[in-house]
Amino acid sequence: MGIKPIDLFPPPVVGPRTSTVELRRVRRRYVKVAGARGGDGPLTLGHLGMLKWITEEKPYGRWAAAPLELPPGATVDDVLAALGVLVARHEGLRTLFPAEGGRVQRVLQDCELALDVYEHGEATPAALIEELFHRLREGEFDLAEELPLRTAVAVRDGVLTAGAVVYSHVVVDLMSAELLGREFTALAADPARRDVGPPRHQPLDQAAYERSPAGRRRLDTALDYWGRHLRRLPQCTWAAPRSTAPPGGATSGWLWSRAGALALPHITARVGASGSMAVLAAICAVLARRTGHRSFPLPTLASNRTERRLREYIGPLAADSLVPIDADADSYDDQVRRVGGAVLRAGRQVMVDDTARSRVIDRIHHDRGTWYGRDTTFNDASTFNDASTFNDGESAPTVTDPGTADPSTSDPAQVRRALGESRIWWQDWPAISPLLAFRLMQKRGELVLGVISHDRNRIPPEEIEPLLRGVDRVLVAAAEGDFALSRIGEVSGIGPMERGPGWRRVDSCWVELAEVQRLLDEALDAPVRRVFAIPDGDGCRLVAYLVGGSHRTPREAHGACVAAMPGRRTAMTPQRYVFCAAPPEDPADPAAWARQPVLVDGDGRMEP
């Protein structure tokens, strides 16, 4: 299987390692690499997206770390030779990003790759890998001067025992790491395979395609797709009341469920969809029940490798796809099919110019008066992690036999009985940007599904556990047969979120009137400023009444409110601004405001 990216479970706290293994570096080996070509070229969209993410967020995931799967009898020389061929074969691994060149990738035709060799004493393979990762992550990559990968091996009495590699995510996504791992193991096992091979689609070629007429047409189509859905979907999926507690840091809960793994083959055999789509449909049904949304956006990481030339491409292609979830299906099976179709369509629109997308989103923010914050996400890493071990330096639940369950070897009653074995494992987590992140780690043997909360005080464990248990129950029920989604509360045990009387549905979004009033109070200096939710069809529209202040027109008022919106997930700017000469006797009465003489009014949605 090659490299297994185990960073999918980062350590509980980014800091001191838990390993007690002592390694002593005994030498540094080098291999000279001669590639077929070199040269400068523009960055790909994948490069730009990764660089922006790393620069702005400094995420733990800026590293793509993986153990090297060593074939029996491999030596340090075999490892060095195999790595040398990989770097010669894949231009991304010998690419620099010169600071003085701006948006440039510089492929080196010739270079040297270093391999650190460490001597060790008694240690388990997992502990050795953890310690090697810690050494390889010391210090940020200097991408202007340093090759974007670091490698190391451990030996004992001259015998190779473990190897590891750390890549910069600027050049390698997880699918690339998996592909490199397979190639490495084949090259290390057989010297006859150690040739660079025929030319491949490389990042320089990808950058040229993205700037070609065909590439530009595809980017325009993707941009239209994003704009169309962001104009109609709620700005925030997890629209919950503001927590009065101070931020408490990120946390995560992980469901380990044999019942869930046993349930999936029954569902997939009946519906004809993948296990991942069955899990995602259960997540969407539970989210819809809890949040009260009929539709919502669910950014989902897509590999973006549907085209033939990209299937073995080594470079950053994985990116958010915007999956529009419509949760009004009649039954669970129908929901699985809808979700599967939505994921497939979204995956075709992943390649997008981030700068142009940002302009579209800014325009939508201005027109709708919303703020899209990518608050609830889903990431399916089970492709990489099925049948692998959970490795994060801490003890974790034991993974059972990863053999694939089969409907013919288990019955729904067995699935139902296994539900009592399901458990939740809690883990602190490094900071993340989404409010809520679902991660599917494993489907075989045991279903491993995580929910990561950006802030344990805003979304506490008492909220996370029912979500995970609810997904588990939905899968078990679906193993017994299709069921109407009108029963989702009974099946999942999940109730709708209690928001209180101050909430309204405005333009598909759940809006907290107190937060809208707070927006006006902080963005506008009018001595009198009141906002009301006026019934409009099956929802409401927000009308603000203003007296005095430095903002004299609806356009000025709206501009100030839009500028103050970032970070406000449950507010929205008014759809209408009404300037009055004086307030009514009762400023809390919208009918009284409607009778006041109007100086000027409007929606403020002129060109920004």
- For residue 303, the model assigns a pLDDT of 79
> Cβ neighbours of residue 520 under 8 Å, at least 6 residues apart?
529, 530, 531, 544, 561, 574
The span from the first CA to the last CA of the chain, in angstroms, equals 53
The dihedral sign for the CA sequence 175, 177, 178, 179: positive
Predicted TM-score (pTM) of this structure: 0.87
Hey, what are 367's tokens?
């027109």
- What is the rounded CA–CA span in Å between residue 593 and residue 545? 7
Least Cα distance to 385 among 319, 462, 443 occurs for: 443
Same domain, 46 and 74: yes
Distance in angstroms (rounded) separating the CA atoms of residues 341 and 413: 30
Which amino acid, 400?
A: T
Question: Would you tell me how many other CB atoms lie within 10 Å of the CB of residue 418?
Answer: 20
Q: What is the CATH number of the domain that holds 127?
A: 3.30.559.10
Asked if pLDDT for residue 408 goes beyond 90, the answer is no
Question: What are the two backbone dihedrals, phi and then psi, of residue 411, each rounded to the nearest 5 degrees?
Answer: -110, 160
Tell which of 492, 518, 533 closes a domain: 492
Structure tokens at 380: 């399916």
Does residue 520 share a domain with residue 476?
Answer: no
CB contact at 8 A, 316 and 348: no
Same domain, 478 and 541: no
Instruction: Check pLDDT > 70 for residue 14.
Output: no
Specify if 76 maps to a domain: yes
When mean pLDDT is compared over 9-23, 277-291, 376-390, the highest value belongs to 277-291
pLDDT one-digit tens code per residue, 446-468: 999 999 999 999 999 999 999 99
Q: Do 518 and 431 share a structural domain?
A: no
Is there a domain that residue 497 lies in?
Answer: no
Measure the CA–CA gap between 203 and 43, rounded to whole angstroms: 8
- Domain harbouring 461, CATH code: 3.30.559.30
Q: Give Rg (Cα) of the chain.
A: 27
Q: Environment class of residue 155 by beta-carbon count within 10 Å: exposed (0-12), middle (13-18) or buried (19+)? A: middle
**Contact (Cβ atoms closer than 8 angstroms) between residue 268 and residue 282:** no
Distance CA 559, CA 550 (A): 13
Which residue bears the tokens 């980062």?
10
Sheet with 159-168, edge to edge strand ranges: 23-34, 110-120, 149-156, 159-168, 63-67
Phi, psi of 485 (to 5 degrees): -70, -10
Total number of domains in the chain: 3
What is the per-residue pLDDT across 359-377, written as a single tens digit (0 to 9) for each? Answer: 999 999 999 999 998 899 9
214, pLDDT greater than 60: yes
Strands 576-580 and 598-602, sheet pairing: antiparallel
Looking at residue 583, which CATH number applies to its domain? 3.30.300.30
| 180 assigned to some structural domain | yes
Q: Determine which helix (DSSP H) or strand (DSSP E) holds 251, and give its type and residue range.
A: strand 251-257
pLDDT at 543 over 60: yes
Range of the domain at 364: 213-238+247-492
What distance in Å separates the CA atoms of residue 500 and residue 578, rounded to the nearest whole number?
A: 27
pLDDT at 17: 53
Residues 275 and 161 in one domain: no
Give the phi and the psi of residue 473 in degrees, each rounded to 5: -65, -40
Asked which of 275-279, 370-374, 562-566 is least confident by mean pLDDT, the reply is: 370-374
pLDDT, residue 3, reads 28
